[in-house]
């Protein structure tokens, strides 16, 4: 199968100190096959841009990278650690809520020229998320895939992509995911097995930064 390299761009990157500040226009569009913008937010069970800057500046810059690399695919991620679980749980609770979310996702992705959606739910069944979220999360994935397929047939556009960020920790995997059903072959799974260690780490780890910045310039 064709090799894929999936990379995330965070919407707080432009706000880092000047020497570390990064906008989408600064990215090399040939380094990764898939670029994921993190993160969108959720309001009333609908996906929405997290900030006005995201909507007006960062989304357009991010997707303009595809003008330089026609093979690049861009996705919009929703969730993250600070997002918590409450809004995911509310959205997953009923078919109507999930349908509202799915329709809003398709609309937002098409409006801003994203190629797909990334689900960054940390974690189903943990952090005050009820156990049944584990299975309702799978239902959402199935419904998203079905809706994306129908939308593609109706509009004659390429089907929107779907990916999910999942933990690599065994104790989280056992609680949060049904390994036999979590991937039917149409969903890309990103294994969160490593992160770039920052100033809070006391030791140099294998994925630490290669170059030292002045104290105060590193923001995870």
Which pLDDT score, from 0 to 100, does residue 166 have? 85
Q: What is the DSSP string of 138-201?
A: HHHHHHHHHHHHHHHHHHTSPPPEEEEEEE--HHHHHHH--TTTS--SSSEEEEE------TT-
- How do the domains of the chain map onto residue ranges? 6-192
* pLDDT at residue 94 is higher than 90: yes
From the candidate CATH numbers 3.20.20.80, 3.20.20.70, 3.40.50.720, 3.30.420.10, the one assigned to the domain spanning 6-192: 3.20.20.80
**Counts for the chain of helices (H) and strands (E), in that order:** 6, 7
- Contact present, 109 and 158 (Cβ < 8 Å): no
pLDDT (tens digit, 9 = 90+) per residue, 14-39?
Answer: 999 988 999 999 999 999 999 999 99
Q: Dig out the tokens for 141 from the structure.
A: 């994935």
Could you tell me which residues are beta bridge partners of residue 78?
Answer: 40, 119
The model's confidence at residue 215, banded by pLDDT at 50, 70 and 90, is very low
The pTM assigned to this predicted structure is 0.85
Average pLDDT, the chain: 87
Residue 194 falls in which region: left (phi positive, over 0), alpha (psi -120 to 50) or beta: beta
- What is the 8-class DSSP label of residue 15? G
pLDDT (tens digit, 9 = 90+) per residue, 190-203?
Answer: 555 555 555 566 66
pLDDT (tens digit, 9 = 90+) per residue, 44-90?
Answer: 999 999 999 999 999 999 999 999 999 999 999 999 999 999 999 99
Q: Dig out the tokens for 17 from the structure.
A: 């100190």
pLDDT (tens digit, 9 = 90+) per residue, 118-143?
Answer: 999 998 989 999 999 999 999 999 99
- Contact present, 205 and 166 (Cβ < 8 Å): no
């Amino acid at each position: 199968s064709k090799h894929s390299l999936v990379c995330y761009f965070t919407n707080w990157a432009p706000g880092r100190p000047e020497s570390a500040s990064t906008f989408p226009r600064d990215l090399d569009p040939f380094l990764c096959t898939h670029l994921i913008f993190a993160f969108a937010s959720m309001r009333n069970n609908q996906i929405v841009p997290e900030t006005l800057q995201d909507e007006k500046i960062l989304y357009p810059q991010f997707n303009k990278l595809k003008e330089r690399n026609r093979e690049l695919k861009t996705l919009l991620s929703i969730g993250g650690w600070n997002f918590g679980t409450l809004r995911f749980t509310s959205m997953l609770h009923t078919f109507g809520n999930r349908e509202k979310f799915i329709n809003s996702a398709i609309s937002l992705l098409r409006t801003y020229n994203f190629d797909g959606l990334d689900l960054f739910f940390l974690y189903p069944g943990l952090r005050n998320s009820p156990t049944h979220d584990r299975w309702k999360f799978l239902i959402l994935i199935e419904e998203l895939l079905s809706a994306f397929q129908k939308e593609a047939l109706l509009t004659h556009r390429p089907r929107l992509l779907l990916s999910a960020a999942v933990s690599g920790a065994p104790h989280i995997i056992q609680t949060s995911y049904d390994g036999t059903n979590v991937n039917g072959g149409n969903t890309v799974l990103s294994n969160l097995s490593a992160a770039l260690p920052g100033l809070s780490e006391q030791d140099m780890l294998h994925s630490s930064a290669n170059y030292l910045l002045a104290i105060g310039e590193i923001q995870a």
